[in-house]
Amino acid sequence: MHMTSIAVRGTAEMGRRDRLLVFAGLMLAGLMSSLDATVLGTALPTIVGELGGLDRIAWVSTAYVLATGVTVPLSGRLGDQFGRRPILLIGLLTFLAGSAACGAAPSMDWLIAFRAVQGAGAGCLMASMFAVTADLFEPRERAKYQSYPAINFAVSSLAGPLIGGFLTDHASWRWVFYVNIPLGVAALAAILLFLRLPRPEGRPRVDYPGIVLLGSTITCLTLLTSWAGTRYGWTDPLILGLAAGSAALLALWVLAERRAAEPVIPLRLFRDRSYSGACVVALVGGATGFGLATFLPLFFQAVGGADATGSGLLLLPMMAGLLAASIGAGRYIAATGRYHRLPAASMAISAVGVALLATMTTGTGPATAGLYMAVLGFGAGLSQQVVMLVAQTAAPRADAGAASSGVFATRMVGTAAGMAVFGGVLASRFAEEIARRVPAGSVPAYDDAVRPEYLRTLPPDVRDGIAAACAEAFSTLFLTALPLLAAGLAAALLIRNIPLTSPRGGSVGPGR
């Protein structure tokens, strides 16, 4: 039976109350996975103090990201073939099992292994959430609901470090993981009790070569973006090997997908200019929206002298702009049915925000910086979930899971690549400027130069030189992002205005 009729039949059996309860469960699952990525940072020093393994601490995050990146595109396609409900439940149960195991980890090696389990579950959750939302709601209404995960992102970004610190100080670092369990159980109950989606009929043909090659490609890319410019130099043989391996594996994957009966990500999706444009916008948005945001606290610490908590709170304007734009875009689409120019507006407004941030100096106050960040956040929010709607609208219903996970995976790759490339640009430019502005013999190491507690011990002239060097390095960093946003804008202008129609045929009016 065709996937359209299956999805319609399944959701037709669910009343609106059940759909909303399922969506609430999806939001809880999303909040759980979002918080897990942010609460850990403040607990890591305590974890290392108890378990040891300082030389392997980076793998606590890398293992999670690696497993997530591999499972996101795979679980989307498996949901198309075997049904979204079982894949969603597998992801949720895997994440909960991984969380419980992480909390009980007896050593750093076991913690890293259990973090990989967590990441695999998170990948299934992320891919399934958007595809299930597409099944629950018709296109215009779906646009509104797909904007709400921005709330999870904002809450986890701001509250995560505070929750992690509180639990570590007043309970144990193990509760950083155990706190996921009540949220996950509530989400599991909502999905088990209220989500009813029949499995697709027929025997699916699993693309095993495509799964292996895509997983290997993403593994190489994740390690490349995580290590290049940080643990290893860009010309290190390992980094060059990972780059060559990523390119070779990607080429082999494309060849395998052209021959597969049911490819893990159908290449025909990319023949649609709207889908391809959405992927490019997601890539650029991940790099410039989330990638750049990672480095902004360093600016406030090295230039403004803020502490770690204060620099995190200074990101509030950006989160507020992102949240307002994401929810506003969803309501606009639900009311008008128009969406195809929002990604272009996102790239253009983000470019304005980045250009404004490039003008910041040592004399830029928090209010001015907050305004500039709000512009960048608003621009990022206009496309954060809209690209998912574009992909789902452009793709056939039978490929909805693969299309959704493809866009999501592209955004993840963009974020990781942006952090690696922009981090390299920042470190290189900062080294040049600090050598020029700080007297010889007083030049600190890069890691020390961005620590407020260290900066406070330096003479005023050295501290001022470091601040000026950092401001100049950040200006270069932001200017580097402008050509990328221009490419994103060009891709966004290719997106067509495909009418938002219901699976039953006919236009979907607001409120249905």
Task: Give the pLDDT confidence of 275-301 residue by residue, as tens digits.
Answer: 999 999 999 998 888 778 878 877 887
Domain 1-206 CATH superfamily: MFS general substrate transporter like domains (1.20.1250.20)
pLDDT of residue 8: 43
Does residue 443 register a pLDDT over 70?
A: no
Q: Please tell me the total number of residues recorded for the chain in this structure.
A: 512
Does residue 433 register a pLDDT over 90?
A: no
What would the pLDDT profile of 13-42 be if each residue is shown by its tens digit?
A: 677 888 889 989 988 888 888 887 777 777
| Residue 349 identity | I
Mean residue pLDDT of the chain comes to 82
Contact 187, 25 (CB under 8 A): yes
Question: Rounded to whole angstroms, how far apart are CA atoms 3 and 200?
Answer: 7
Give the residue-averaged pLDDT of 212-238.
Answer: 82
| Residue 195 identity | L
| Higher pLDDT pick, 463 / 487 | 487
| Higher pLDDT pick, 159 / 342 | 342
Does residue 512 register a pLDDT over 70?
A: no
pLDDT of residue 352: 96
Contact 395, 269 (CB under 8 A): yes
Contact 187, 132 (CB under 8 A): no
Cβ–Cβ contacts within 10 Å for residue 414, how many? 26
Give the residue-averaged pLDDT of 258-283.
Answer: 89
pLDDT of residue 409: 82
Give strand ranges (E) for 333-481. Answer: none
Cβ–Cβ contacts within 10 Å for residue 505, how many? 7
CB neighbours of 166 closer than 8 A, spacing ≥ 6? none
As a whole number of Å, the end-to-end CA separation of the chain is 26
What is the Rg, in whole angstroms, of the alpha carbon atoms belonging to the chain?
A: 23
CB neighbours of 476 closer than 8 A, spacing ≥ 6? 425, 426, 429
Which helix (H) or strand (E) segment holds residue 69: the answer is helix 58-82
pLDDT of residue 153: 76
Contact 8, 130 (CB under 8 A): no
pLDDT band with cut points at 50, 70 and 90 for residue 454: low
Cβ–Cβ contacts within 10 Å for residue 342, how many? 25
DSSP-derived 3-state class of residue 507: strand
What would the pLDDT profile of 106-158 be if each residue is shown by its tens digit?
A: 998 899 999 999 999 998 888 888 888 878 888 777 777 877 777 777 777 77
What would the pLDDT profile of 156-172 be if each residue is shown by its tens digit?
A: 777 777 787 788 878 88
Does residue 7 register a pLDDT over 50?
A: no
Distances (CA, A) of 186 to 32, 38, 372, 451, 495: 11, 21, 39, 40, 38
pLDDT of residue 99: 93
| Higher pLDDT pick, 409 / 457 | 409
Bridge partners of residue 228, in order along the sequence = 232
DSSP string across 370-394: HHHHHHHHHHHHHHHTHHHHHHHHH
Phi, psi dihedrals of residue 438, rounded to the nearest 5°: -110, 135
Question: Rounded to whole angstroms, how far apart are CA atoms 119 and 99?
Answer: 10
Span of 73-82, 233-242, 478-487 with lowest mean pLDDT = 73-82
Question: Rounded to whole angstroms, how far apart are CA atoms 18 and 15?
Answer: 5
Does residue 357 register a pLDDT over 50?
A: yes
Highest mean pLDDT among 102-116, 330-344, 424-438, 442-456: 102-116
pLDDT of residue 226: 74
Give the residue-averaged pLDDT of 412-421.
Answer: 80
For CA atoms 391, 77, 13, 385, the dihedral sign is: negative
| Residue 379 identity | G
pLDDT of residue 13: 60
Span of 2-11, 39-48, 336-345 with lowest mean pLDDT = 2-11
Question: Rounded to whole angstroms, how far apart are CA atoms 71 and 67?
Answer: 6
pLDDT of residue 2: 41
Centroid of chain to Cα 291: 9
Backbone dihedral region for residue 53 (phi beyond 0: left; psi -120 to 50: alpha; all else: beta): left
| Higher pLDDT pick, 248 / 82 | 248
Contact 200, 80 (CB under 8 A): yes
pLDDT of residue 297: 79
List every span in the chain annotated with CATH 1.20.1250.20: 1-206, 268-497
pLDDT of residue 444: 61
pLDDT of residue 185: 93
Does residue 398 register a pLDDT over 90?
A: no
Span of 3-12, 160-169, 250-259 with lowest mean pLDDT = 3-12
Does residue 255 register a pLDDT over 80?
A: yes
Class of domain 268-497: mainly alpha
Q: Please list the alpha-helical segments (H only) found in 260-307.
A: 273-285, 292-293, 296-302
pLDDT of residue 362: 85
pLDDT of residue 6: 43
Does residue 383 register a pLDDT over 60?
A: yes
Tokens found for residue 104: 């009980």
pLDDT of residue 219: 86
pLDDT of residue 445: 60
| Higher pLDDT pick, 373 / 449 | 373
pLDDT of residue 505: 36
Does residue 456 register a pLDDT over 80?
A: no
Phi, psi dihedrals of residue 212, rounded to the nearest 5°: -65, -45
Contact 198, 10 (CB under 8 A): yes
